[in-house]
Each structure stands twice: as structure tokens, then as C-alpha cells.
Amino acid sequence: MLGSPGSEPLRTQGFPEFLDVDALLAGGWKPLAFQQFILKIHSRCDLACRHCYVYEMADQSWREQPRRMADAIADRAVERIAEHATRHDLAEIDIILHGGEPLLAGPELISRVVCGVRGAVDTGTRVNVNIQTNGVRLDEAYLRLFESLEIRVGVSLDGDAEGQDRHRRFADGRGSHALVSESLRRLTAGPHHHLFSGILCTIDVRNDPVRTYKALLEFDPPAIDFLLPHGNWASPPPFREPGSPATPYADWLIQIFDIWYDSPVLQTEIRLFREIMRLLMGSPSRSENIGLSPVRMVVIDTDGSIEQSDTLKSTYHGAPETRLHILRDPLDNALLHPAIVARQMGERALSPTCRGCDLVSTCGGGQYAHRYNPATGFAEPSIYCADLFRLIGYISARCERDVARLRGAG
């Protein structure tokens, strides 16, 4: 039991399975509708990245998934999304085409889903579509398709050739940097640049941070997401020793922050830094990786299963499951799943350690999957707690000094 909406959680063992959602509803708590819908249109990949949470970590359910989302499942997913958007009178929704590698699904399925959603939602609902790809198959034909369908494109790249090919390889060991770089030049150097939404870069602290950042800037990305590699208290990420005061990830990011922050012109949007600065100024977070804003995202897997964030695949087998399916269940049913409720509850879903921290409103406990401990579920601080504390404190101090200087100059 959780107790009344304003109370502290009574226990943390196995959190969030024990949440009494009915009691929360009776006490006045209400879920917020989903706004972001991640569609797993293909469950396999043409790379064999060594740091991939889908294929290389605890959850191996991909083996049981159909390779490609069937047309009938895609059509039902479209209906469920439109139903949800209409029921909640949503002015805007985001469709994220994901995998595996979504380009393996082929242009016909991509067109079917995108045109289907836009045709099914009410005329007052704006549909934003993004596809997240490893870039290997991003050819001119796909770019023309994305132009016609107004699909923005995010590409995964871990830096220069050494950084990219350390993990993002083909199954035979070949690196992917040359192919992905060619695709990025095709995307950014011609008439399709406006489709470019940004780069996802998974951090490896063995890669030089400044060289990594400069390598990414070569493609003129509108935004960069630096992602902490997934890990938790049972399976710590590389070079992050549980309980150690060392902050290798913060130290790596701070070197990039100084270059980015000190640049006389905005080189690119670095989402992690921008979100921390927004939170420090009292604005709500727009990212599930930091802050206390309710998470309003749901996943529809290749077989039609309704799931939580697929980053939970890094914790234990079956972690993202809700036991709901689009052929049986409206998406509203997922809003009342205890694990999804826990991600909309804000500070009350955090551990006592987090709730007693001065930085709780900014950090928000960090990324949900990074809190997992087999003994307590997700009621722990992030495995990256020390890094987040150091990074947020550093950014805060730098911003405060500049504000004080400006006030003094005035």
C-alpha cells in the first residue's frame, strides 16, 4: 500500500508492484494521458552493438518477437493511438518509429503507419513523427520518403571512428562508422537537412570527450543526446563502481559542458545540459532521464504488446511487460498499470535517500531503469547518483556565477 496521496510510501520492497492504484484514484490522483507512442516496427537489427540494451542485456524477449510488425497489428496500433488521442482531446502527439532497426521494416510499413495515424486522429491533433535509426540503411530513397511523410530522423553515432567502432559493429566485427558517416552526410549536406532531429551518442569514458564532441559537431546536428550506458545496482555500467565516490561520467560530460557553455554561438542543443539548466531555473523537465515530470510515453512492441519503456530491458527479463495487448486493451488501461503510475507520481515514487537530497527536484532520481536493485525494485537512487550530483552541482555553480556577474555589472 502507498497510503494517502500526500504521504510517504510505507515500504519499498519490490517497488512499484505493491502500489494501490485504486487508493490513489480514490484520493484524487489522476493519470496523465500518453503523448508519445513508440512503435517497434521491426525487432531485429543489422548491427550487433555490444552496449545494446535490447539484445545484450537482461531481457531477451526479442527472440520471441516477430521480425516485422504485421499489417494487422500496425492497423490496430493506429486505431488505439487515435482512440487515445481522441478520448483525451490531445492537441499534439509524437510517433516514434523504433526497433531493432526500423528501416528494416521497409518503406511500405513505415508509410502505412504514418499515413494511418494522420488519417485516424482528429483534425485538431498534430502528429509529429520521428524515426530513430543506426543510419546504415539511410539512403536517398528513404530520405525522399521521409520528406514526403514529414518524418524527422535521429541517428545513433558514438563519435569518431574509434569511438563508433568500439561498440557499434556488424556481427562479423566490421565497424559501422564509415557507412553511418556517409548516411549522415547524405542527410545533412543536401536538401534534407531540415529532417535531421539530432544524434544519440552513448558515452564510453574511454573515448576522449572533446574529440567525441567535435566529431559529432562535424555533422551540424540540431541536437545531441549524450546517453549514460544502461546499468543498475545488480549490473553496474562500465567503470561505475556501486558506492564509489568517483564520478567518471560527470567528469567526462563536464569537459564537453565547458566547451558548449563557453562557445560564443550555440553550437548545438545538448539536451541533458539544457534540461538541467531548465530545471535549475524552475521549469519542468521534458526528458525521462532527469527531473520529476510525469512520463507520458508508451511502447507498442512488434507483436502488439503494450509495454513500458524499453530501457527496462536492461534490468531483468520481462521488466517492460504490462500483460496488455492492443488487440484486447485500450491504451487507457496501461495508464493504471502500477509501474506506469510510479513514473507519473513524481517525488513520492523516489527512495528516501532521493527525497532527502537537496537536488531532488533537478535530478529526479535519474533514469528509472538505473535505479533497479533486485532487493527493492526501483526504489533506489540511480546507480549514477554520484555522477549526477557532481554534474548538476557543477552546472549550477557555473550558472550562478554568471548570473551574479551580470547582476553586478548591472
* Euclidean distance between CA atoms 291 and 313, whole angstroms: 22
What's the pLDDT score for residue 21?
92
Q: Return the H-helix or E-strand segment holding 257.
A: helix 248-262
Residue ranges per structural domain of the chain? 33-397
What's the pLDDT score for residue 348?
87
CA distances (Å), 258 to each of 261, 293, 362, 370, in order?
5, 27, 20, 26
The verdict on whether omega for the bond into residue 119 sits within 30 degrees of 0, i.e. cis, is no
What's the pLDDT score for residue 1?
32
* Euclidean distance between CA atoms 91 and 82, whole angstroms: 12
* Euclidean distance between CA atoms 279 and 277, whole angstroms: 5
CA atoms within 13 A on the CB side of 265: 1
Fold of 33-397: TIM Barrel (3.20.20)
* Euclidean distance between CA atoms 269 and 21, whole angstroms: 38
Say if residues 384 and 370 touch (Cβ distance below 8 Å): yes
What's the pLDDT score for residue 148?
98
* Euclidean distance between CA atoms 163 and 320, whole angstroms: 30
* Euclidean distance between CA atoms 367 and 59, whole angstroms: 18
Q: CA-based angle 286:102:343, to the nearest 5?
A: 30
What's the pLDDT score for residue 410?
57
* Euclidean distance between CA atoms 23 and 348, whole angstroms: 14
φ, ψ of residue 248 to 5 degrees: the values are -60, -35
Which 8-state DSSP code applies to residue 189? S
Cβ neighbors of 311 (< 8 A, separation 6 or more) are 53, 230, 367, 368, 369
Secondary structure class of 146 (helix, strand, coil): helix
* Euclidean distance between CA atoms 319 and 59, whole angstroms: 7
* Euclidean distance between CA atoms 316 and 178, whole angstroms: 34
Mean pLDDT by 10 residues, the chain (410 residues): 35 71 92 98 94 89 94 98 97 97 98 98 94 97 98 98 95 96 95 97 98 98 97 95 94 98 96 96 88 95 96 92 97 95 91 94 94 92 97 96 73
Residue type, 247: T
Which residue shows C-alpha cell 559501422?
A: 176
Q: What is the pTM of this model?
A: 0.93
Residue type, 12: T
